[in-house]
Amino acid sequence: MESDEGLRQQLEELQKQLGKKQKFEDSVSKINSLLHDQFPSASPPLRNLFYSVVCRVATILKTRYTSPGFWLAGLRLFEQAESLVSDPSHKQHMKACIAQAKEHLHDIDNPTEVSESTNSRGYLFEGHLTVDPEPPQPYWLVQSNLINAVSSLVTAESSRGPVDSNRNSEAAANIFQELINNLDAVIPEILDDDGAPPRAPPASKEVVAKLPIIILTDEILSKLGHDAECAICKENLVSGDKMQELPCKHTFHPPCLKPWLDEHNSCPICRHELQTDDHAYENWKEREKEAEEERKGAKNAVRGGEYMYV
């Protein structure tokens, strides 16, 4: 049996090679063999390292690769790991990885089914088909789409002929149902106070495109700490990972960050908000900033007056 240190170094080296497309399948195959031969007798720290490496394979598959061969290799690895791990949470995660791999391979074998179910399966992001479902549309986009649909229907209604009557009635019924399904997005929160802050629109596409990309090195990782992770997908970071840096200096996997900014437009860690393309919202933020400065000034003036009479 190999020494613990030798096995650790071998696993860490294989984990680094996972990021190289031409070495991915071979690396996964070697990890699978080591898992079969060494995991049962490995020490608890090494078992945790094995699990971490297998999780890394799952993350890379979800964020980078769509090749059936890659996913089939991953599926075999996940099935092997699921049969060996004893921790209930680890076993449950492996079952989820197996299910995702099988679904991805099924979608590739049934392309028609994929096209008919894009709302519930993966979506195209930067040229890659993801495995996770597409994030829900932000409220402002739902609202805009429905308003445009109603406007188009009204225009069609004003110029319709007898032949189009049934068709427009059916469209009206569909839009009405959509309005019911999205009341929270379309109707303002009338029960809230008038001063309630508006919902933040997505970050400006131009601003997001200019966010710097950095590649993690061993030196950077040593500063971040051994347990550093992407705060969105919760996967541990390794050398060679591409990370996108926000103005607040927090970094995340680019495929994780874009959907998050579309929905939340704020740093998941410190809530720093990026600039948007919505001029009305940006003007509101500027007014709020000025009002906050005035409130602080008034508060300081009151405190100064109190000190004068002490």
**Claim to verify: residue 155 and residue 252 sit in the same structural domain:** no
Distances (CA, A) of 1 to 12, 48, 85: 18, 18, 20
Q: Are residues 35 and 69 in the same domain?
A: yes
| Cα gap 42→11, rounded to integer Å | 13
Instruction: Produce one character per residue of 52-62: b if its CB has 16 or more CB atoms within 10 Å, e if not.
Output: ebbbbbbbbbb
Per the domain annotation, does 274 fall within a domain?
Answer: no
Which of 106, 129, 152 is the last residue in one of the domains?
Answer: 129
Instruction: Supply the CATH number for residue 252's domain.
Output: 3.30.40.10
Q: Which amino acid is at 262?
A: D
Per-residue model confidence (pLDDT) at position 35: 92
Indicate whether 226 and 257 sit together in one domain: yes
Paired tokens of 239: 């050398």
- Please, what sign has the CA dihedral across residues 295, 301, 303, 305? negative
Is 88 in the same domain as 162? no
Using one digit for the tens of pLDDT, what is the confidence trace for 9-25? 998 899 888 878 888 89
Residues 242 and 148 in one domain: no
Q: Is 253 exposed, middle or buried (0-12, 13-18, 19+ CB in 10 A)?
A: buried
Considering its fold, how many domains does the chain have in total?
3
Domain membership of residue 299 (yes or no) is no
The pLDDT of residue 117: 42
Compute the distance between CA of residue 171 and CA of residue 120 in angstroms, rounded to an integer: 24
User: 0.75 cut: is pTM over it?
Assistant: no
Q: Would you state the pLDDT for residue 139?
A: 52
**258 with 131: CB under 8 angstroms?**
no
Residue-wise pLDDT for 154-188, tens only, equals 665 555 555 455 555 666 666 666 655 555 555 54
Please answer whether residues 250 and 271 qualify as being in contact, where contact means their C-beta atoms are separated by less than 8 angstroms. Answer: no
pLDDT of res. 113: 45
Verify that 145 and 119 share a domain, yes or no.
no
Q: What is the DSSP string of 88-155?
A: HHHHHHHHHHHHHHHHHHHHHH-HHHHHHTTTTS--EETTEE-SSPPPPPPHHHHHHHHHHHHHHHHH
**Whole-number pLDDT of residue 271:** 83
CA–CA dist 153, 221 (Å, integer)? 56
Q: Phi/psi at 98 (nearest 5 deg)? A: -60, -45
The residue segments making up the domain with residue 63 are 4-129
Residue 150: band (very low, low, confident or very high) from pLDDT cuts 50, 70, 90? low
223-254 tens-digit pLDDT: 888 778 888 888 888 888 889 999 998 889 88
- Asked whether residue 48 falls in the same domain as residue 165, the answer is no
Residue 279 placed within a domain = no
Q: Tokens 């959509």 identify what position?
A: 178
pLDDT per residue as tens digits for the range 46-93: 998 999 899 989 888 887 777 888 999 999 999 999 999 999 999 999
101 burial via Cβ count (<10 Å: 0-12, 13-18, 19+): buried
- Give burial (CB, 10 Å; 0-12/13-18/19+) of 246: buried
Indicate whether 167 and 257 sit together in one domain.
no
SS3 46: helix
Residues 31 and 107 in one domain: yes
pLDDT at 239: 82
In a domain, 290, yes or no: no
Average pLDDT over residues 246-275: 85
Q: Would the pLDDT of 1 be above 50?
A: no
**Residue 227 and residue 241: Cα distance in Å, rounded?**
14
pLDDT digits (tens, 9 = 90+) for 102-138: 988 887 666 544 444 444 445 444 444 554 454 555 5
Q: What is the average pLDDT score of the chain?
A: 75
Looking at the fold, whether 67 and 94 belong to one and the same domain comes out as yes
263, 281, 299 — which closes off a domain? Answer: 263
